[in-house]
Every structure is written in structure tokens, then in C-alpha cells.
Amino acid sequence: MDAHITPGSVDGRVRAPPSKSYTHRAILAAGYSDGAIVRSPLVSADTRATARAVEAFGGDVDQANDGSAFVVDGFAGVPDVPADVIDCANSGTTTRLVAGAAALADGGSVLTGDASLRSRPQGPLLEALSDLGARAESTRGNGQAPIVVFGPIPGGEVAIPGDVSSQYVTSLLMAGAATADGIEVSLTTDLKSAPYVDITLDVLDSFGVTAEPIGSETADGASGFRVPCEQRYEPADGEYAVPGDFSSMSYLLAAGAVAADPDGEVVVRGAAESAQGDAAIVEILERMGAEIDWRRSESTIVVRRSELSGVTVDVGDTPDLLPTIATLGAVADGETRIENCEHVRYKETDRVSAMAEELGAMGASVTEEADVLTVHGGESDLQGAVVDGRGDHRLVMALAVAALVAGGETTIRGGEHVDVSFPGFFDALFDLGVSVDLQDR
């Protein structure tokens, strides 16, 4: 699907979608339980993949007719051996999180997905599961899916690098609570994307599961993590409510900062405080000079069009914000330097190169290094162009924000991929007054 976007101003109120990160973890946590209701989930291609995995392990996931909840009948910490291959589609989060569950099953599980997913690294997690007693292999011997995991593991101590994906740690912690011996994870390198492990700890706590960082109060700065054995997943009153998603919210806030009507504002609802590291987008916009007000008691953020200036941002803990920040940098005066971003190359696509190339096609001046992306706003003149979303939901949404202030219409190839994390994205833009024409190719 092609998304044709005409530049123009935005104004109005929209609601952020529920958090994808929290929804993934909540569905799987409910799967580990005897049963639970996950309220206000994100219903998307990625989270449906996690729901399918729970069902493959012997659980059952029913979606309310209005999409307001998933009713999960869990496998009570003892997953069945799947009767078929688990198709994780484009969801790397699903692959990594459920690999730990697969290691609890008394037999073999096969996890695979689309071409993009089959290019992403899983090797360190497979090695960790093997060290814990599983047989965990890449079928092609390259550390990528398809992967095969034979369990069950008893638990134990294991070391894993923290600078490739925090999801490896999440997988081990969630599975560890159901093992006979518990799991203690030691980090061999500093943990990147630490707030995502804080999300995991938050969800585990809500489901009555104890897990703790070692050497720190939070995931940031921890030398490892410990989760005691044979715990039961039991949320209070049998329910868990998912908060709004700051990763997806970042595009709405950026749209307001660069394109709000001069006499209007963009109000984003659903901005409740949580452990999400991507809430840093508010502080980043403030540093760039945006007029933005997070009304925490109301769970809303108000943003107005502002003159932005370039800043330096470290995305070691917030990799999903890189596309948004790069787009803001193309509109801002001066230079925006995005540092510590090499791990952002291992997402749905190499987001560092992809944003450099696609913003460049729109007239932005961008310098790419291995671990740094620099956008020279003062040398950029965004013009409408045909750009490629590369099958990556975050690229599509970031480029849509750039299209709002480009000179002329922009066509974004692959607009359908927003379904991965924000199925209503183009509807939200339309509600804000954007001229969006979606056409099947």
C-alpha cells in the first residue's frame, strides 16, 4: 500500500495506542499463568504473533469483540510441545520472548518468521539457553531463525551480553520464574535498552512474580538479574491493564512540534507514566525547544508548533526513537547528532542507514557513521518524494511526519506496515487534519 501525504498543519486531540512492549509481555505473562485478562492491549500484527505462540504452547487467547481485552487461558508455567512450527511473522520480540518458554517444554519447538525476522541475531540467546541445559540451535547455523529449542531446562546461572538485545534478558527472566531452580543472569557487557527490562520487571511485579536487578535498583547499571524458582503468575483480580505507548506517541508529538496549526495544538491522550524509556521523547523535544506540556495527572501531552534546534541524543536505551529524532533533526536548525546507535541496525531493517537514505531522498543532509547518525538541519530542505518504508513500521511513521513539512506530496511505499505497532496511525493523522490518500499498489 502506498500512502500519499500532502503537507499541511495539524490540530486536535488523538489517543496514543496501547504499548506494544507491555502488551507482548502481558500476553505471555498471562500465558504463563492459569489464566488472566489483559485489558486495553495493542491489537497488532506483532502482538497477535505472541498470542499465537501462547496458543501453540497449550494456552488459549480470545479477543473481545471490541478489541478491548484479551482473555487468556494459560498453560500454568508448563508449556506443551507445539504441534506445529510457531510463525512469529515480523515480530522479533515474539521470537525472543517465547524462546524462553520453548525451553520449558519437554520436547522441541521451532520458531521462524518472515525474511526480515530471519535476518535478526538470536545467537546469544540460543547460547544462554544451551548453557542452561536446552538444545537451542539455528537451523542454518548462523544464529538466526528458524531456530529449534528442545527443553526442559531446570534453571541455573548463565552469562549473556547486554549490548545486542535486552529481549534476551526478558526471555530468561520470564521463563526463569517457572523453572525448578530459578535463573540468575550475569551480564558480560553493559545493558543497552535497559528501560525495556524495567518494563519486564514492572509486568512481572504486576503478575506477582519476583525478579530483581543485581547491583542496582533498576535495570540501568545492573550487573545481572535474579528470579527465584517455581513462582506463579497471578495478577491482582486476575487482570492487567496495558498503558499507552510512548514509542508510537513520539510520531504524534513530533507532528505537533513541526506542523501544529499556529493557532492550535495537538493533544495526545493516554500518556500515563510507566517504565517506558521512550517517554524520553518529551525531554528530547523540550531540549530542542518545543513547547510541550506533559499533564501527568490527566495522562495527556499538549504540544504546539515550535522553532526547533538540533541536539545530541544518546539512544543506547531508546533505540526505537531514532527514526523520530532523525526526522526532527531534518526540520530543526543546526545539527542533530544521534549517538550510540549501532544496535539500531538490527531491527526490522538497518534503521540507521535506512533513515539516512530515505531522509536524504527528501532533501535532508545526513552523515552516517557506524555508531552515529548526524542530521544537518541547517543544510536540509525537505521536498516531497517517493520514499520506501523498507517494510518497517517505524520508518513509515517517521517519514509521514517529515512529509507534513515537505515541499509537495510525499509517497511512502509500504504504508500497511504500520499495522505492526500502530494500526490506526493514518486514521490518527486524518483526525488531526492531514490529507492522507491510501492506495493499494
**What is the set of active-site residues?**
320
Q: Show the cell assigned to 383.
A: 521536498
**Amino acid letter for position 241:** A
Kindly report the number of other CB atoms within 10 A of residue 354's CB atom: 27
347 in a labelled binding site: yes
Beta-sheet pairing, 12-15 with 266-269: parallel
Q: Provide CB contacts within 8 A for 145, sequence distance 6+.
A: 88, 95, 111, 112, 113, 117, 118, 120, 122, 138
Integer CA distances (angstroms), 234 to 33, 262, 326, in order: 6, 49, 41
165 in a labelled binding site: yes
68 in a labelled binding site: no
192 in a labelled binding site: no
Phi, psi of 181 (to 5 degrees): -115, -5
171 in a labelled binding site: no
20 in a labelled binding site: yes
Sheet holding 36-39, edge to edge: 60-63, 69-73, 36-39, 239-241
Residues making up the chain, counted from first to last: 441
Cβ atoms of residues 411 and 400 within 8 Å: no
25 in a labelled binding site: yes
Q: Show the cell assigned to 240.
A: 492487567
Number of H helices, E strands in the chain: 12, 24
232 in a labelled binding site: no
Residue 152: asked if its preceding bond is cis (omega within 30°), the reply is yes
Closest CA to 348 of 17, 3, 53, 92: 92
Angle of the 351-361 helix axis to the 322-331 helix axis, nearest 10: 30
Beta-sheet pairing, 156-160 with 435-439: unpaired
Phi, psi of 241 (to 5 degrees): -110, 130
394 in a labelled binding site: yes
Cβ atoms of residues 119 and 143 within 8 Å: no
21 in a labelled binding site: yes
Q: Provide CB contacts within 8 A for 218, sequence distance 6+.
A: 194, 198
Q: Provide CB contacts within 8 A for 77, sequence distance 6+.
A: 32, 33, 104, 177, 178, 232, 233
Binding positions for 3-phosphoshikimate are 20-21, 25, 165-167, 193, 320, 347
Binding positions are 20-21, 25, 92, 120, 165-167, 193, 320, 347, 351, 394
Binding positions for phosphoenolpyruvate are 20, 92, 120, 167, 351, 394
